[in-house]
Each structure stands twice: as C-alpha cells, then as structure tokens.
C-alpha cells in the first residue's frame, strides 16, 4: 500500500479514539482505561514506524528536512503528555483537561504531516517509491504489533533516544 495512505488510515483511527475519549466523563473509568490503552498502543506503533522508516527516508530530501525535525519533536511532546496521562487516575478532574491537550497536539501534528509533509513527499517521491515505503511500514508494523506493551515501550524509547533527545 502507498505509504501516505497507510499512515492516513492510522491517523483516522487515532483521531476516532481521541474523539471517543474526549466525550467520556470522570465516571467512565473503565471506558477511559480501555480506550486510553488502545490509543497509547496505536500511537506508539505509529511513531515507531514513522521514525524508523518514513522520517529517515524523508530526511534525506532537503525540502523535507525541517518538517521532519519538527515531527520528531512533536512526537516527543505527545509522548510526554500521554506519559503524564498514564500516571493520572481516569477519575481525576485533571484527566479530561490533559486529554484535551493531548488531542489538540496529536491533531495539530497530523495536520502538519498530511498537509505540508505529505504534499511535498508526493512531489519528491514517485508512486513506486511510496508503494515500497508502504510495504516496509506495513511489515514493520506487523512485527511490532506482536510486542507486549513493555517491549513496545523499549522499542519506542530506542527510536526516541536517537531522534528527539
């Protein structure tokens, strides 16, 4: 599959979970817990495949370099907010506010990728190259999907240390 289409599918899935979470209240502890775990897993896998495969390929293009560097930092900020949310009890009055901020940050990041980044990528890579990148993303995604939450976090930390710190 075309790399950009594959990532857009992930984006849509993540946005849907965020909207569902945004509608929950403090009493919906179980729903918040389940949906948050789903969100964290989806986002972590997505960040891993972008940082291991997509961003390094894009970074080689001068026209994409700055926006990719910004992307790494945006992933970093999203990770920080999600980390804080994970520490907070879903019935805490601050939980909803923090979730809203996470939602705004993720949505902003998705807009930047699907806007400027993907548009430039379509000009710089032909459909065969994007298809090949998509295959690599898909294969790596299948691999990391098998990991436990702890293993996944380790994989994420490795990519993160290299790119955003």
- Site residues (vs Fe ion, CB under 5 A): 7, 50, 113
Instruction: Kindly tell me which of 50 and 52 has the beta carbon lying closer to Fe ion.
Output: 50
Q: Are 162 and 36 within 8 A, CB to CB?
A: no
Instruction: Kindly tell me which of 23 and 161 has the beta carbon lying closer to Fe ion.
Output: 161
- Shortest Cβ distance from residue 46 to Fe ion (Å)? 6
Q: Which residues contact 144 (CB under 8 A, 6 or more apart)?
A: 45, 48, 49, 152, 155
- Shortest Cβ distance from residue 43 to Fe ion (Å)? 9
Return the SS3 of 162: helix
- Shortest Cβ distance from residue 118 to Fe ion (Å)? 9
Q: Are 164 and 55 within 8 A, CB to CB?
A: no
Three-class DSSP labels, 89-141: CCCCCCHHHHHHHHHHHHHHHHHHHHHHHHHHHHHHCCHHHHHHHHHHHHHHH
Q: Which residues contact 122 (CB under 8 A, 6 or more apart)?
A: 4, 130
- Shortest Cβ distance from residue 34 to Fe ion (Å)? 23
Instruction: Kindly tell me which of 50 and 79 has the beta carbon lying closer to Fe ion.
Output: 50
Instruction: Kindly tell me which of 52 and 113 has the beta carbon lying closer to Fe ion.
Output: 113
User: Measured between alpha carbons, how far is 129 from 43 in angstroms, rounded to an integer?
Assistant: 24
Instruction: Kindly tell me which of 97 and 139 has the beta carbon lying closer to Fe ion.
Output: 139
- Shortest Cβ distance from residue 50 to Fe ion (Å)? 5
Residue 141, Cα to own-chain centre: how many angstroms?
A: 12
């Amino acid at each position: 599959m075309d790399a950009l289409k594959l990532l857009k599918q992930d984006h849509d899935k993540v946005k849907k979970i965020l909207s569902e979470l945004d509608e929950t209240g403090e009493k919906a502890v179980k729903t918040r817990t389940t949906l948050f775990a789903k969100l964290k897993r989806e986002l972590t896998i997505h960040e891993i495949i972008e940082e291991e495969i997509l961003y390094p390929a894009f970074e080689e293009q001068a026209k994409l370099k700055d926006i990719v560097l910004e992307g790494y930092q945006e992933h970093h900020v999203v990770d920080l907010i999600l980390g804080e949310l994970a520490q907070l009890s879903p019935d805490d009055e601050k939980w909803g506010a923090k979730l809203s901020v996470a939602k705004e940050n993720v949505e902003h990041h998705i807009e930047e990728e699907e806007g400027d980044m993907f548009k430039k990528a379509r000009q710089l890579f032909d459909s065969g190259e994007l298809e090949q990148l998509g295959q690599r993303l898909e294969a790596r995604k299948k691999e990391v999907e098998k990991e436990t939450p702890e293993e996944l976090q380790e994989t994420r930390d490795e990519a993160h240390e290299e790119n955003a710190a």
